[in-house]
Structure formats: C-alpha cells, structure tokens
C-alpha cells in the first residue's frame, strides 16, 4: 500500500456538486501535480463532510483542517502554503471559534461513522473498516433466529418516523412459510427538511446493503428491493455500483460464503409522490401502480409486495443493524435512553450558524443539538421555534428546548421525533406563513384516495390562506383544529392523520402570530 503524507477528503454530495466541487477538484489535482506533490498528497472522494451552506469544503488529514467556501482562485494558495510549505491558510479554515464549537461526534456515530471518511464507491474501503463482518458472522455462525433475537434485544426502533420496534416487525414475517419473501428498503425520503437517508446512501452505501442482507437472512427473504426517490440521482448511481461490487465479491448471489443462502438486491425508482413513503403505497408503486395506500390488515409483513410477506424498513433503521450484529445488542443499548436505544441522525437547517447533519444519542436535547452540533443560532438571531419532524411534525417553542429528543419523551408533549428533520426559526419567521407552507404541501401531496384527507387538506389550506391574507376570523383557528382532528380519526393513512400535529402545535404555541393577522 502506498503511503501519503496527507489525505485531502473531498465530500461529494448533491450540495457540494451544486457548489461546483468537481471543478475545484480538477484544479486541486493539477496544482498538486504542478508542485510535484501528487505522490505525497492523496485526494479521496468521500460522502458528505457534514457541513452545509459552506460551499465546497475540504478536510485534510491527519491535520484535521477543514477548508470551507473555497473558490477556484483559492486552490493554488492552499497547495503552495499548506501542502508545500506546511502553513495552513487561516483565512479559509472553518472559523476557529466554530471548530471548537462544531462537533462531528464521530466517536459515538453508528450509522454515519464512515461517512466523510471512506470512499463510498470502493468496496475495499468498506471492508477495511470492518464492513461485511456482521454478514459473514451471521451466515457462518448464527441461525436466522439468533440474528432476529439480537435485533429485538437491541431495542432498535424504526427510524422512518413511527418508531415501531424493528425486531418485532421482523418477527411477524420470519415464521411465515411462503415461496418468496422480500425485504424492501424505504428510501423514498420525502418529508420536507429530511435528507438523512440521502447522506447515508451517498456516504456509505455498503452499510445499507449489509443491513438489508442481515434482515433478509433473519426473515428468510431471497430478494431485497431499495425503493428510492427518482430525484436522488447520486444515491442511485452509488447504490448501483455498490450492488455490482458486492455481486462481484460473492457477498451477494447464490450460496453466499458456502452457507446455502441466496440473496440479490435490486433498485426501484420512484417518480415523485410523498405518499409513497407510506409502506403500502410504496409497495403499490413498486408494482407499477398509482402509489395509493392499501387497506390494512393484511399488513405487509403478511401480504406485501406481490402479496408475499414483506418487511419494509427505513434506510437508517437497516444501517444500524450491521453494528448490532458485530458488537451485540448490549453495546447498542449503551447508546441512547431506555426504551429508545441507539443514535439518531438529524438534519438541522434554518437560522442556525452551521446547518447540516449530526448523529447523536437518542435523548439528546434540542438545545444541545442546536448549540453543540449546529454552531448555535445565526448571529443576531434568537430562537423562536423549531419544526421538528418535517411537515408531519410539530412546532416547538423555547419552552421545549430541554426536552429529550426520543420517541417516548416527545410523546409526553404531543410531539414526535418523526424523521429527524429540525427546522430552526428565529423571530423573523411568522408562524402563519410557515403553517401556510406546510398545509400547501399537504394539499399538494394528498393522494386523493380517501375523502377526509382529500377534502380536509383543501379546506385547511383555504382557511390558512384566508388568515394569511388578513381575511380570517378567530373561529377559523378552532375550525382548523376540529377538521384536522377529524382527519386524524378518519383518514386512511398517516398522511391525512398528520396535519393535526403542525396545526395544533402552531396554534397552541404561537397563537399571538395568528391573532396578529386576524385583527
């Protein structure tokens, strides 16, 4: 193996591509060449570095220097000063005060521990971090039942939003005898403000594949499908590559590791419909139909894709499984809080200094997440509200900053963790406008299958639009709560059951914003 003096990590993701990372990378290569440094300094393409809104960023190891907001004209200077003369270019380094405040938390990461560190397009790098050890361990020394029990014992809960225990879900499907069973990955990430699954798939696609493999083994499925948004082009191409590499290495295929177990994984691409994040709608879409939800029961665990027993899990859920099998349930349960074990990946955006992602233990407070992992509020801005969980989430006020973020604790405040999206708002944000935007989203995304949701989302939008235009009455607020609570009770799927959460929380916690528009 070749030895390099320094490694420059370049995060390639949708955000950095948009900022022109490829051009910068080309210049960097040619500058290193010009200075005869190509043999000493290595350039590595990796997944997200976890910084957003900072344009093109580079991370230099072993120095651990983060360069941000790079322009084409900066590169020659960095190469000459930093790599030739050994003097980091301070004016381009992520603000020193921020470095101290900004915490990547790699030590506690489970899902994103490789993201931003390894080359996601190279299976050898994943293997080098201990990748596919869990898969080998399971196939060569564990019964499927033992894998299932380990996941059950870990307390892992679904990370898609509802928080249903993953092991329990698998245990419905495992004992069923059927000619075919399936694992389906829900990668139709559409909850506004959520992009954690994109980062997992872009940064460490093999980890997801290994999770699918372990699930397939535990429940006895020989086919896996990853249903992914059509918009996620980079994820699709990285996963396709990863699957191809796994097949080449005999990690996927027939009689894997001589165990007699067969498995292959395929990608299914969506075409833009929020409701397809609902597991039965997703299955309908996979089968080539309109993505409308099915009546339950039967649940997918019994009769899912093509009417066969199917486990549908979120990307983040499955990406936790390899570490659970490698290190054991007890190790996993050391992360997080009782009843809500492990870590959670959050995407934080809005009026914070460093919008981006973080993976922290379940039960970390909203205050810690904002202060420690998002650099605090933007200069001159004070916290007013956070929309936690996306459009199907809740508006929290500053009274809730110290609530522990996990499925159980948030429930006490009629709040949800949802997908882990945190949209932070300062006093310049008006809750009437924000709720209007949320309800416009639901109006657009209602699939039209059931009347409560199809009609309800229209009515709700009409009411909030009236208030926003100054034509509302105070009784409209009660009417919105009444309608959305009715939808909660009578809608066919979670989409129609969701608007009550942002509505109730916005009107209860920020009533003065609404009254200001009414009078």
Partner 1 sequence: MYKQIFGKYTPKKENLIYILHEIQDQHPEHYISAEAIKIVAEYLSISESHIQGVLTFYTMFSTKPRGRNIIRLCESPPCFLKGSEDILRQLRQLLEVKIGETTADGIFTLELCACLGVCGNAPVMMINEDVYGDLTEAKVESIIASYRGGK
Residues that bind partner 1 (CB under 8 A): 14-15, 17-19, 52-53, 55, 189-195, 198, 229-233, 268-274, 285-292, 347, 349-350, 355-357, 387, 391, 421, 423, 425, 429, 433-434, 437-438, 440-441, 444-445, 447
Contacts of 137 (CB under 8 A, 6+ apart): 325, 326
Q: How far is the CB of 305 from partner 1 (least distance, A)?
A: 9
Q: How far is the CB of 65 from partner 1 (least distance, A)?
A: 21
Q: How far is the CB of 272 from partner 1 (least distance, A)?
A: 4
Identity of the residue, 260 or 380, whose beta carbon is nearer to partner 1 in the bound complex: 380
**Beta strand segments in 133-248, E:** 182-187, 223-228
Identity of the residue, 138 or 439, whose beta carbon is nearer to partner 1 in the bound complex: 439
For residue 317, what is the enclosing H or E element?
Answer: helix 315-327
Q: Are strands 340-341 and 336-337 parallel, antiparallel or unpaired?
A: antiparallel
- What tokens does 130 get? 């201990």
Identity of the residue, 419 or 497, whose beta carbon is nearer to partner 1 in the bound complex: 419
Q: How far is the CB of 184 from partner 1 (least distance, A)?
A: 13
- Three-class secondary structure of residue 311 per DSSP: strand
Q: How far is the CB of 435 from partner 1 (least distance, A)?
A: 9
| Sheet containing strand 41-46, strands side by side | 41-46, 6-11, 58-61, 65-67
- What tokens does 518 get? 């009414």
Query: CA-to-CA distance for 233 and 130, rounded, in angstroms?
Result: 27
Q: Which residues pair with 267 in a beta bridge?
A: 226
Identity of the residue, 53 or 253, whose beta carbon is nearer to partner 1 in the bound complex: 53
The answer to whether the peptide bond before residue 204 is cis (omega within 30 degrees of 0) is no
Q: Would you call 402 exposed, middle or buried from its count of C-beta atoms within 10 A (0-12, 13-18, 19+)? A: exposed
Q: How far is the CB of 174 from partner 1 (least distance, A)?
A: 25
Q: How far is the CB of 439 from partner 1 (least distance, A)?
A: 10
> Would you tell me how many other CB atoms lie within 10 Å of the CB of residue 23?
12
- Three-class secondary structure of residue 283 per DSSP: helix
Q: How far is the CB of 192 from partner 1 (least distance, A)?
A: 4
481: Cα within 13 Å, side-chain hemisphere: 10
- Residue pair 419/389 in contact (Cβ under 8 Å)? The answer is yes
Nearest Cα to Cα of residue 55 among 40, 67, 63: 67
Query: Rounded to the nearest 5°, which phi and psi values hold at 502?
Result: -65, -35
Identity of the residue, 156 or 392, whose beta carbon is nearer to partner 1 in the bound complex: 392
Identity of the residue, 235 or 417, whose beta carbon is nearer to partner 1 in the bound complex: 235
Query: CA-to-CA distance for 418 and 281, rounded, in angstroms?
Result: 18
Identity of the residue, 60 or 349, whose beta carbon is nearer to partner 1 in the bound complex: 349
Identity of the residue, 159 or 268, whose beta carbon is nearer to partner 1 in the bound complex: 268
How far is the first Cα of the chain from the last one, in angstroms, to the nearest whole number? 72
Query: CA-to-CA distance for 160 and 164, rounded, in angstroms?
Result: 9
Q: How far is the CB of 53 from partner 1 (least distance, A)?
A: 6
Identity of the residue, 198 or 344, whose beta carbon is nearer to partner 1 in the bound complex: 198
Identity of the residue, 102 or 132, whose beta carbon is nearer to partner 1 in the bound complex: 102
Identity of the residue, 138 or 349, whose beta carbon is nearer to partner 1 in the bound complex: 349
User: What is the three-state SS of 30-64?
Assistant: HHHHHCCCCCCEEEEEECCCCECCCCCCEEEECCC
CA-to-CA dists, residue 153 to 48, 174, 246, 340, angstroms: 31, 16, 29, 12
Q: How far is the CB of 191 from partner 1 (least distance, A)?
A: 7
For residue 265, what is the enclosing H or E element?
Answer: strand 264-269
- What tokens does 229 get? 């948004």
Q: How far is the CB of 198 from partner 1 (least distance, A)?
A: 5
């Amino acid at each position: 193996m070749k030895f390099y003096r320094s490694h420059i990590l370049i995060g390639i993701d949708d955000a950095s591509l948009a900022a022109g990372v490829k051009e910068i990378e080309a210049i960097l290569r040619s500058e290193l060449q010009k200075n005869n440094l190509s043999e000493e300094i290595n350039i590595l393409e990796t997944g997200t570095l976890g910084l957003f809104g900072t344009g093109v960023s580079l991370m230099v190891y072993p120095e651990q220097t983060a360069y941000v907001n790079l322009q084409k004209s900066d590169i020659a200077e960095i190469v000459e000063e930093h790599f030739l003369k050994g003097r980091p270019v301070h004016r381009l380094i992520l603000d020193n005060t921020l470095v101290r405040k900004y915490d990547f938390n790699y030590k506690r990461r489970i899902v994103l521990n490789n993201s931003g560190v390894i080359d996601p397009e190279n299976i050898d790098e994943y293997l080098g971090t201990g990748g596919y050890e869990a898969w080998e361990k399971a196939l060569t020394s564990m019964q499927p039942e033992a894998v299932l029990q380990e996941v059950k014992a870990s307390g892992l809960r679904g990370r898609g939003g509802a928080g249903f225990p993953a092991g329990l879900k698998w245990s419905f499907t495992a004992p069923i005898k059927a000619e075919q069973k399936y694992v389906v990955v829900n990668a139709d990430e559409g909850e506004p403000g959520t992009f954690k699954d994109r980062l997992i798939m872009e940064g460490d696609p093999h980890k997801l594949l290994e999770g699918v493999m372990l699930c397939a083994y535990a429940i006895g499925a020989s086919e896996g499908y990853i249903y992914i948004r059509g918009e996620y082009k980079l994820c699709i191409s990285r996963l396709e590559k990863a699957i191809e590499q796994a097949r080449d290495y005999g990690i996927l295929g027939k009689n894997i590791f001589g165990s007699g177990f067969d498995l292959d994984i395929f990608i299914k691409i969506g075409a833009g419909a929020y409701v397809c994040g609902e597991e039965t709608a997703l299955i309908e879409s996979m089968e080539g139909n309109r993505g409308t939800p099915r009546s339950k029961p039967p649940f997918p665990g019994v009769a899912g894709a093509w009417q066969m027993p199917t486990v549908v899990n979120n990307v983040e859920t499955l990406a936790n499984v390899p570490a659970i099998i490698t290190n054991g349930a007890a190790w996993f349960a050391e992360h997080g809080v009782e009843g809500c074990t492990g870590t959670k990946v959050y995407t934080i955006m809005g009026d914070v200094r460093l919008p981006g992602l973080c993976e922290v233990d379940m039960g970390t407070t909203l205050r810690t997440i904002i202060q420690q992992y998002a650099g605090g509020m933007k200069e001159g801005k004070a916290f007013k509200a956070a929309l936690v969980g996306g459009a199907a989430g809740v508006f929290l006020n500053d009274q809730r900053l110290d609530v522990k973020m996990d499925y159980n604790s948030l429930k006490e405040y009629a709040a949800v963790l949802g997908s882990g999206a945190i949209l932070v708002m300062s006093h310049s944000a008006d809750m009437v406008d924000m709720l209007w935007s949320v309800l416009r989203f639901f109006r657009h995304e209602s699939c039209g299958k059931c009347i409560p949701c199809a009609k309800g989302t229209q009515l709700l939008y009409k009411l909030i639009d009236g208030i926003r235009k100054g034509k509302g009455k105070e009784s409209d607020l009660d009417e919105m709560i009444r309608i959305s609570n009715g939808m909660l009770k009578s809608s066919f799927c979670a989409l129609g059951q969701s608007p009550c959460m942002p509505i109730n929380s916005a009107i209860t916690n920020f009533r003065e914003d609404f009254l200001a528009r009414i009078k």
